[in-house]
Amino acid sequence: MVREGVKEGGGEEEERGNVSTTAMIGDVLKSGLDQAGLTVVDLDGIVAVPSLSGNHFMEAHYQATALGLFEQKQDKPLHCHTLDTGGAGPVSALLHGEQMISSGNSSSGMDVVAVIAADAVGSMTGKQFLNKADDVFFKLRDELKLPKDYVICPAIPHGYDRITEHQLLSSSSSSALTRDQLRMTVCLESFHAGLHPESLQSQKAASTANSKQSSSSSSSASYATLSEVRASPLVTNNISQMECARRADGAACLILASNQVLQERNLWKAGIPVVIGGGQASGPLYPPQNITDYTYMSCKQAMDQAYASAGDLSVNDIQYFGLYDCFPICLIRAIESCGLVDDGGGGEYVQKQYERLLVAIENGTVETLLTDPTFFPINTHGGLLCYGAPWEVPAMFNIVEAVDQLQGQSQGRVIDNCQRALVYGNGGVLSASAVAILEMSR
Ligand code: CAA
């Protein structure tokens, strides 16, 4: 498995939007196969998710053709599948790839499947991005002949704002979600992102330090303070710039292999993560103007299915959580849905974790806090808010970080004795949820 990582993009206005996702996929596919000790010839299947910047018809077929994979595999069929569940796509693709392998049978079956995703939304101008990202929601509004203000630009932040406002107003007084608790999700994720050298946040901090000719190599992470998040310009009534998924270019590839091929090729070793359960569920593409009840249950439904299919596991069996966090409300709901706290307790949980961090910083005990498995075992790479969000790719980073945690390779951010990880991807405006549970092979 490999993470290509994220880049902010940039360049002159007229140059933007021309970054090739095919070149990015070519790179990550090659590194992924190299890392697994396999080659393109071994591939039986490709599962891809669509990209916003590239916009290709039949993404998996497009990329396999553009990369010349069919020519390299003349003796064996290559199955190409494209899945679109929005940001849930990588987790849906992981579950689909696992099914492709487990439903295959010996000689005619599939043994090696690559899940691929790339996007270059960081290289688009803000206008190019919003034109494309908003389009489908405007079409839906017009199709349904709804009033103009059913969807306004930027459509996605406004959709999440509607859910955020509903939850801010409807939570009970004893554990009412507060505006600051939403902001604290950014502080916590930013703290984790500060420990990951490839996060967009760390890259930006490093380039600022370089441009100031700074020679200090700080060992303690920098992070966004609550006052910084409070001061961030508002995008909607309840969401500021720092509370938006951070646009980025990026790509990643997962290589899935059957037990048979791992054993035949002597690639099998203790310490390979195995998919042991999964769940998926759906909701509407865009929230109604007046949300009157909790209609957004797909995350909880997918989590419950995943725990049940993994052999009736519960939250206590999981050490690491890769939870989708395109906006703070998505993360709060995921924290509640995976069972880390009861429904309605997400805000309080985040606040307690944030207060622990402040105390540790004050007392100089951050190193000790980081070894405590109960300290925010979520998105140790920084999530969409601080690591970076290349449209439908970011759940790949949740999976890659989970694999790093399971294999003890997440230097500086290690969750001790991580045996099981849960990964969650969300598509649209809480419209699709996909959850997978990974376990270390023994
Ligand atoms: N943290 C810190 N800084 C951030 C940030 C974050 N999370 N997000 C944006 N910024 C910064 C940018 O780096 C930029 O800084 P500079 O001015 O120093 O370059 C500044 O804020 C402005 O950002 P943009 O260039 O993007 O500016 P804009 O005004 O054109 O657009 C925006 C602002 C409307 C908030 C736009 O960034 C946006 O729409 N963001 C949300 C992206 C989004 O919706 N992603 C999909 C999430 S839903 C999902 O993931 C599910 C799915 O199915 C795909």
Q: Three-state SS for 268?
A: coil
Nearest residue (CA) to ligand 1, atom 13: 246
Most informative mutation of 247, 249, 299, 431 for ligand 1 (most atoms within 8 A of CB): 247
Q: Contact, 83 vs 96, CB < 8 A? A: yes
Q: Which atom of ligand 1 is nearest to the CA of 157?
A: 44
Distance 5 CA to ligand 1 centre (A): 17
Domain boundaries, the chain: 2-123+246-441
Q: Which atom of ligand 1 is nearest to the CA of 86?
A: 53
Winning range, highest mean pLDDT, from 17-21, 202-206, 269-273, 338-342: 338-342
Q: Contact, 421 vs 323, CB < 8 A? A: no
Q: What share of the chain is helix, strand, coil (3-state, %, to 5)?
A: 45, 15, 40
| Model pLDDT, residue 211 | 62
Distance 297 CA to ligand 1 centre (A): 26
Which residues, including other chains, have CB under 8 Å from residue 10's CB and lie 6 or more apart? 16, 122, 123
Distance 420 CA to ligand 1 centre (A): 32
Q: Which of 438, 409, 400, 391 is nearest to 156 (CA)?
A: 391
* E strand intervals along 91-172: 112-120
Distance CA 212, CA 31 (A): 34
pTM: 0.94
**Helix count and strand count (H, E) for the chain:** 15, 11
Q: Which CATH architecture has domain 2-123+246-441?
A: 3-Layer(aba) Sandwich (3.40)
Q: Which of 110, 383, 82 is nearest to 242 (CA)?
A: 383
Indicate whether 13 pLDDT > 60. Answer: no
Q: What are 202-255's pLDDT values in tens digits?
A: 998 888 776 654 434 444 557 999 999 999 999 999 999 999 999 999 999 999
33: exposed, middle or buried (Cβ count in 10 Å: 0-12, 13-18, 19+): buried
Which residues, including other chains, have CB under 8 Å from residue 345's CB and lie 6 or more apart? 175, 336
Indicate whether 324 pLDDT > 60. Answer: yes
How many Å from the N-terminal Cα to the C-terminal Cα in the chain?
A: 19
Nearest residue (CA) to ligand 1, atom 26: 126
Distance 156 CA to ligand 1 centre (A): 11
| Model pLDDT, residue 305 | 98
Q: Which atom of ligand 1 is nearest to the CA of 428?
A: 53
Which residues, including other chains, have CB under 8 Å from residue 206's CB and lie 6 or more apart? 197
Q: What are 368-408's pLDDT values in tens digits?
A: 999 999 999 999 999 999 999 999 999 999 999 999 999 99
Distance CA 216, CA 222 (A): 13
Q: Does residue 392 line the site of ligand 1, with CB under 6 A?
A: yes
Q: Which two tokens stand for residue 135?
A: 């389009």
Q: Which of 302, 6, 332 is nearest to 163 (CA)?
A: 332
Cβ neighbours, 10 Å, residue 245: 23
Q: Does residue 428 line the site of ligand 1, with CB under 6 A?
A: yes
Q: What are 278-311's pLDDT values in tens digits?
A: 999 999 999 988 776 556 799 999 999 999 999 9
Q: Does residue 156 line the site of ligand 1, with CB under 6 A?
A: yes
Distance CA 116, CA 129 (A): 22
Q: Which of 329, 260, 366 is nearest to 44 (CA)?
A: 260
Indicate whether 106 pLDDT > 50. Answer: no
